[in-house]
Amino acid sequence: MTERTIHALGEAYRRGDTTPTAVTEAYLARIEKFDGHVGAYLTVTREPALRAAAAADARHRARAPLGPLDGVPIALKDVLCTKGIRTTCGSKILESFVPPYDATVVARLAAAGAVVLGKTNMDEFAMGSSTEHSAFKPTRNPWDLARVPGGSSGGSAVAVAAHLAAGAFGTDTGGSIRQPAAFCGTVGLKPTYGRVSRYGLVAFASSLDQIGPFAKNVRDAALLLQAIAGHDPHDATSVAAPVPDYAAALDGRVHGLRAGIPREYFAEGVDPEIARAVRAAIETLRGLGVATEEVSLPTTGYALAAYYLIAPAEASSNLARYDGVKYGLRVPGGKDLIEMSSRTRAAGFGAEVKRRVMLGTYALSAGYSEAYYGRAQKVRTLVRRDFETAFARVDLLLAPTTPNVAFKHGEKEDPLAMYLNDALTIPVNLAGLPGLSVRCGFTAAGLPIGLQLIGKPFDEATLLRVADAYERATTWLAREPALP
């Protein structure tokens, strides 16, 4: 029952083959059995989930009009505010924080009838690429428990990959949906900046953060995005653009589409097994009628450096609110406000968060702001222009999601080595574009490989259509991780 897709669950509910309560209980039992091995969840909301499932049962019995997510068990990254349920952001400083309101995404999922199973583990404040920087525990990759699931949304990726949720939501600031999706072999979609409301998302970098779904297949990703997309008056950065019917776009018709292959995404540093698998996927799409041509994104090599000035600068500003006064942890004993705040932050923030806050504060400091932050923003403009030039010729781009597959826990203790994991995903965030990762093969060691599709602004429908056509033409989804 827990291996069914969201689409299949909806059909089973309509036929009366099973009920939302039965499926929710099956997921809760599986979480109890397996989550101790993988560490996907920080909080399991058993009783609220069963109440939501019972309400869905009643709607099904009454034959009320139902959406595709009604009674479907999902998981939420623990960076989304949930009323009455603790939201930790993977940090000691918010270990006991219980929000008084729901994020817009959470409210929209509740209105769609989704059943929330719990809150998933993550790198602290979404700063990381391995979910090793959670203040509470690491998360493990279900394909190999000795390896990381990626990050920062590793818990959500694992919840879907290990069938501990039918779907899940994460956030993507520099690749934090697409990278763990590639490492765990799920579908992961980062929408266009402004497509989904950020109201109630605890901010890391406000000009980069975006909420998106993890799913077992592309059709499920379309259904999950449909439920959360659209303008929100609570978020000044959300865009009042029409939201298409994403599921209806999955018609299999890709003949005549033009795809660009960015040469910089196959440069030195990309694992040869990944490059071969992605090029084979491109050949499959050619066979389906997608025309391809090589394109160049010449400022790709500068994007990583620009990101690691812009994102920490915004984090420095956003995390200044955690001062021990208003909410979260407070360490007593300081002789004044400054000492109390210093003690609180020293005890509440982990090493990676401190590293980025210090880097961002320095980049914004007097005498250095224009030299670092200002120049990084100029590079960001050049990255965006590269994409605009490419999209004048093609409809989408095809590339590897990551330069390497899931690595072992503790293998990348050097921060720079860790940051390089996001080299192929960060440019998409700097430009505010949609990006999707779909499984396109396995290494000889049995680890998943991700194909990244990059689209024009607000053209998630094309990415979903092409990814769905590729998924139908291949058999990669037949393989499952073997949990203990």
Point out the residues that are catalytic: 77, 152, 176
Q: Residue 420 burial by CB count (10 A; 0-12/13-18/19+): exposed, middle or buried?
A: middle
Full DSSP string of 331-380: ----SSHHHHHHHHHHHHS-HHHHHHHHHHHHHHSTTTHIIIIIHHHHHH
Q: For the residues of 70-138, what is the DSSP string, one character each?
A: TT-EEEEETTB-BTTB---TT-GGGTT---SS--HHHHHHHHTT-EEEEEE--SGGG--SSS---SS--
Pair 463, 396: CB distance under 8 Å: yes
Determine the Cα–Cα distance for residues 225 and 155; give it in Å rounded to an integer.
19
User: Do 186 and 223 touch, CB atoms closer than 8 A?
Assistant: no
Distance (Å, whole) CA 458 – CA 454: 11
Only one residue has tokens 């499952």, namely 480
Question: How far apart, in whole angstroms, are the C-alpha atoms of residue 451 and residue 467?
Answer: 9
Burial class (CB in 10 A: 0-12, 13-18, 19+), 444: exposed
Decide if 451 contacts 278 (C-beta within 8 A).
yes
Residue 157, Cα to own-chain centre: how many angstroms?
8
Rounded to whole angstroms, the Cα distance separating 192 from 238 reads 10
